[in-house]
Amino acid sequence: MSEVSIDLQPPPTTRQRVLVRETFGLLAPDAADVVSLLYARLFDVAPTLRPLFHGDMRAQGDKLVQALALAVSHLDDLESIAPDVRALGKRHGQYGATAVDFETVGGVLLWTLEQTLRDRFTPEVREAWTVVYGVLSGIMKQGLAETAGSPAA
């Protein structure tokens, strides 16, 4: 596997990493409800994505929370998880995801954070999550591009 570059945009600043960690910590006790809200919104705004999800949505939600927790725990060294994140993007490509889908999910994630964090979802927190998601989705898109015949461009 080739080395993964994460300089797709500026990495999160120290302050942004702190904000993402703090707000993720606020969500953790209600993670199942947050994920349910996220998926409900995703399938509402992009019903064409529903067929990409097979099996138990609770298990899918657990995987999402675990992936986010891993990313949050490695915010100081995202390069250490970049190969795994890229592989995750490649798997999503094999399921039929496209680069545009990552943008849709990003918007839904921000909406979900706004709904759940309410007044704690300040413009600064929004920007922090936007930067972190941008870096992670950029790495995933690299993996997506490796998927044979992927419409990743």
pLDDT in tens, 14-27: 999 999 999 999 99
Query: Greater confidence, 108 or 5?
Result: 108
Taking residues 64-80, what's their average pLDDT? 95
Reply yes or no on whether the pLDDT at 148 is more than 70.
no
**CATH homologous superfamily for the domain 14-145:** Globins (1.10.490.10)
Question: Domain-by-domain residue ranges, the chain?
Answer: 14-145
Q: Are 52 and 95 in contact (CB under 8 A)?
A: yes
Alpha helices in the chain (DSSP H): 14-27, 31-45, 57-73, 82-95, 99-117, 123-145
Taking residues 29-51, what's their average pLDDT? 96
Q: Would you say the pTM of this structure is higher than 0.85? A: yes
pLDDT band of residue 54 (cuts 50, 70, 90) is confident
Q: Are 75 and 17 in contact (CB under 8 A)?
A: yes
Which token pair is 67? 């992936």
Q: What CA–CA distance (Å, rounded) separates 86 from 142?
A: 6
